[in-house]
Amino acid sequence: MSELGRVLRVEARRTALLIAVPLLTAVGVVTAWLSLVPGVAYWDNTVVALVNSVRVLGPLAAGLTAWAAVRERRLDYLRDLTSRAPATGALVDMALLSAAALLAYGTVTAVVAVDTLLREQAGAAQPMGILAGATALVMHVVIGYLAGRLVPRPATAVVVLAGTWLWAAARGTSTSWWSLLPPAALNEVELFTGLRPWVLAAEVSWSAGLTVTLVLAYVWWVNRRPWTIVPLLAAVSLTALATLGLESSDGRAVSPVPTAPSCREWPLTICVHPALRGALPALMTATTPLAARLNGTPGAFTRIEQRPGTAPAGVSKGVAGVHLDDLSPGYEAQVVRQIRDGLVDRRACAGQRRRAAAEYRAMIDAWLLGTEQPDVSDPWAARAFGGWTEQQRRAWLRANFAAYHRCALTARAFR
């Protein structure tokens, strides 16, 4: 009978693993891949993608392990025939299912890490962030399994899946420390910022503490051994301390990080975040014509600097500050438009009510950007500007830049 019980248990576990490992791996890879920033290989964002994938993997793993626990519960009468402690079989099952979940998570980590390594990566990998995702996943496995053991009903797996998914989804829109409770809802890490390691360590402690608390509580409930009280209290204390640590973070998982830029120095000097250094050739090609047309004007620039999102953009003293979040299609045109927008006085242009002034500015903007000339209501100005050579247009801009800057161009400027 003991041999029969062992065979049945092996078969039940094998079925769960055959389903869990490939399913968790596929879902995890897709979820993490969609969380990566287009064209940016920044290690902190890679870690965020892994942590966020657990928000989907965790509920799914909890539902699968609850289903496995319900199936295993039917074999308890066979375990009673052995001399092992009552909790031993459940502990072995949880360890096996946790290993399966971690195998899937490790595969997801390898896929995302290789993708990052194959591109122009920047920053450094955060092992604590990867560990935070792993401990949160194991926590879900334990929660699902224990729920299936305590309530051995087929509907338990559905309830566990729905409950853990609601736990993850309810905190997704929050900006308080509540959103950092595992599985954490981390936002995209902007360039020039980085993850705070102590916040990740607090998440690891919270997940590990709660997992150990649940396991020891189950062992005490089954075996009624007094020795489990001390480690149980220690695990509860660890979870409480981790909660206090996350609460003190005010919901901020990132902080500014000093970053040495990557630059290219001919014919302009362009400096960007190291994660975007692959964009330097394209940016040089896109911005050089604009720099040549502005040469000799107060808006001339010879250097372009990528700045954090909180820093102002614009052209000042020969330096053009721009914002660039990722390398999604059209990023070169976006940078050129930002420089163009920094040439005018926003307040003066916003207060300009004359339609003709807006049309003249649009005509000059189209030339600066190298796009098609728009239709204007002044045919004389359109014919005159369209018939000038490139050198004549540049000389005209040097003479009329002040009016262009204030959005105060008139028909007289073109006669």
The Cα–Cα gap between 172 and 185 comes to 5
The mean pLDDT of 341-348, rounded to a whole number, is 87
Higher pLDDT, 314 or 365: 365
Sheet of 303-306, strand order: 262-264, 269-272, 303-306, 319-322, 314-316
Residue 175 pLDDT > 80, yes or no? no
Please say which residue of 315, 341, 367 terminates a domain: 341
The Cα–Cα gap between 143 and 155 comes to 15
Task: Say which range, 26-35, 48-57, 175-184, has the weakest mean pLDDT.
Answer: 175-184
3-state per-residue secondary structure call for the chain: CHHHHHHHHHHHHHHHHHHHHHHHHHHHHHHHHHHCCCCCCEHHHHHHHHHHHHHHHHHHHHHHHHHHHHHHHCCHHHHCCCCCCCCHHHHHHHHHHHHHHHHHHHHHHHHHHHHHHCCCCECCCCHHHHHHHHHHHHHHHHHHHHHHHHCCCHHHHHHHHHHHHHHHHHCCCCCCHHHHCCCCCCCCCCCCEEECHHHHHHHHHHHHHHHHHHHHHHHHHHHCCHHHHHHHHHHHHHHHHHHHHHHCCCCCCEEECCCCCEEECCCCEEEECHHHHHHHHHHHHHHHHHHHHHCCCCCCCCEEEECCCCCCCEEECCEEEECCCCCCCCHHHHHHHHHHHCCCCHHHHHHCCCHHHHHHHHHHHHHHHCCCCCCCCCHHHHHHHHHCCHHHHHHHHHHHHHHHHCCCCCHHHHC
- Predicted pLDDT at 378: 86
| Same-domain check for residues 176 and 266 | no
| Same-domain check for residues 269 and 410 | no
| Same-domain check for residues 375 and 314 | no
| Same-domain check for residues 275 and 181 | no
Q: 321 has which bridge partners?
A: 305, 314
| Same-domain check for residues 241 and 273 | no
When pLDDT is cut at 50, 70 and 90, the band that residue 256 belongs to is confident
Residue 8 pLDDT > 50, yes or no? no
The mean pLDDT of 255-274, rounded to a whole number, is 91
| Same-domain check for residues 235 and 103 | yes
| Same-domain check for residues 299 and 383 | no
Please say which residue of 221, 240, 256 terminates a domain: 256
Residue 355 pLDDT > 50, yes or no? yes
Please say which residue of 213, 241, 256 terminates a domain: 256
The mean pLDDT of 302-330, rounded to a whole number, is 88
- Predicted pLDDT at 268: 93
The mean pLDDT of 281-299, rounded to a whole number, is 94
221 to 194, 208, 211, 217, 227: CA distances (angstroms)? 43, 20, 15, 6, 12
Backbone angles phi, psi at 96, to 5 degrees: -65, -45
- Predicted pLDDT at 292: 94
Q: Classify residue 249 as exposed, middle or buried by CB count within 10 Å of its CB (0-12, 13-18, 19+).
A: middle
How many domains does the chain contain in total?
3
Residue 78 pLDDT > 60, yes or no? no
Q: 42 has which bridge partners?
A: 122
23 contacts 59 by C-beta, under 8 angstroms: no
263 contacts 271 by C-beta, under 8 angstroms: yes
Q: Among 165, 161, 203, which Cα is nearest to 181's?
A: 203
| Same-domain check for residues 239 and 282 | no
When pLDDT is cut at 50, 70 and 90, the band that residue 80 belongs to is very low
Q: To the nearest whole number, what is the mean pLDDT of the chain?
A: 86
| Same-domain check for residues 303 and 358 | no
| Same-domain check for residues 268 and 248 | no
The mean pLDDT of 171-182, rounded to a whole number, is 77
Model-level pTM greater than 0.85?
A: no
The mean pLDDT of 273-287, rounded to a whole number, is 92
Residue 356 pLDDT > 80, yes or no? yes
- Predicted pLDDT at 16: 59
The mean pLDDT of 124-143, rounded to a whole number, is 94
pLDDT above 90: percentage of residues in the chain:
49
Residue 77 pLDDT > 50, yes or no? no
338 Cβ partners below 8 Å, 6+ apart?
Answer: 313, 322, 323
| Same-domain check for residues 350 and 336 | no
The mean pLDDT of 100-106, rounded to a whole number, is 93
The mean pLDDT of 281-303, rounded to a whole number, is 94
pLDDT above 70: percentage of residues in the chain:
91
CB neighbour burial string for 377-415, b if at least 16 within 10 angstroms, e if fewer: ebeebbebbeeeeeeebbebbeebbebbbbbbbeeebbe
The Cα–Cα gap between 225 and 246 comes to 33
Question: What range defines the domain where residue 335 resides?
Answer: 262-341
Q: Among 141, 134, 136, which Cα is nearest to 107's?
A: 134
| Same-domain check for residues 172 and 291 | no
When pLDDT is cut at 50, 70 and 90, the band that residue 125 belongs to is confident
Residue 163 pLDDT > 80, yes or no? yes
The Cα–Cα gap between 246 and 179 comes to 9
Higher pLDDT, 195 or 89: 195
13 contacts 65 by C-beta, under 8 angstroms: no
Q: Classify residue 330 as exposed, middle or buried by CB count within 10 Å of its CB (0-12, 13-18, 19+).
A: exposed
- What amino acid occupies position 401? F
Q: Among 222, 249, 274, which Cα is nearest to 73's?
A: 222
Q: 304 has which bridge partners?
A: 270, 320
- Predicted pLDDT at 114: 93
When pLDDT is cut at 50, 70 and 90, the band that residue 173 belongs to is low
